[in-house]
Structure 1
Amino acid sequence: MDDAIGQTTSAILGLTKPTSQPKSASAKSLESAGNRWGQAMANMSSYDRMRQLALYLLCWGEGAQVCFMSECLCFIFKCADDYYCSRECQDRIEPAPEGLYLRSVIGPLYRFFRDQFYEHPDGVFVRREKDHEDIFGYDYITSLFWYPEGIAKITLNDRTRLVDISPAQRYMKFDKIEWRQAFFDQPIS
């Protein structure tokens, strides 16, 4: 859906730099995006379908607690797929370092989620004394990925917004994302 409607919507909301004129209202509807996605799937080769399925299952299988945050997992998959299809990845001679996905993508998200429930004074994890309404749980964390406005809050440690980076380069920037800033920027509802 990101390619079908996300870029246009983000440009209209001022979340990304516009690259072309916005499409008509009918072209921006969710139904229209779904139709374009369905057409893209129909045109996709069997190889690409299997490749995407395998990539998604790899992301999900190694995702730890993130596998319970479906929209977050889909965002990770989208960024990984954009990178995999990029010239940068295809021209790469050396394989990615072992453990890159867990260390750069899942680890930081898992630590943010874990730290909502536990603190670790003296190296021992102890459950935080917080009301449920003051904790960023699965539903709250995944809601960041529902709308372009939420995704636009994801910034790197140099304050660059992830949406301002080329889609093909986003995945390799995950280790620089400031997750606390993205989530604490929005109120808990």
Structure 2
Amino acid sequence: MQKYNDSTYAILGILTTNCRSGYEIKQFIDNSLNHFWKISYGQIYPTLKRLEEEGLATVQTLVQEGKPERKEYFLTEKGKDVLKNWLEQPLTQLPVERNEVLLKLFFGRHQTKEQSLYLLADYKQKLEKLYQTYEGIEEGISRHNTNHQDAKYWLFTLDYGKRVTEAAIAWCEATIKEL
């Protein structure tokens, strides 16, 4: 079976959520996946075309009065099988985090202690804002999507983000204290 990149699998998964157009897919990414997986418009449309060409999705063109035509994509059985197969595969590697704060702190002896403290305080503030964003997302899911069959899984990934963010905030506090 052909192997695809993870963004392709992400788009296959998004097509199970009733997001049908490239625009809807991008909106879904920006409002949910963007906190842990980024995909640009420049990736979405070529991927959708490839999914259609390879029989993983079908496309229907809708004529809209006074608007451009709209393409809607639907998973085929083959597309569902490819997604299911990928979901069932074990992880091949742990994700590697790219974190500019850690990179700068790693070389921290080449900057002033005050600059390191500022860097950490600023990072902590941004993390606290991110945590508030996660709480808002959680509230929205709990209020508007409690019956959605994917809501429980969305909350699992959100909980991961909240816990990682809490740990990073605690790390900032401990590192600031140590400095």
TM-score range, shorter chain: under 0.3
Which structure has more relative contact order (CA 8 Å, sep 6+)? It is: 1
Q: Higher strand fraction: Structure 1 or Structure 2?
A: 2
With normalisation by structure 1, the TM-score equals 0.23
With normalisation by structure 2, the TM-score equals 0.24
Tell me which structure has the larger Cα radius of gyration: 2
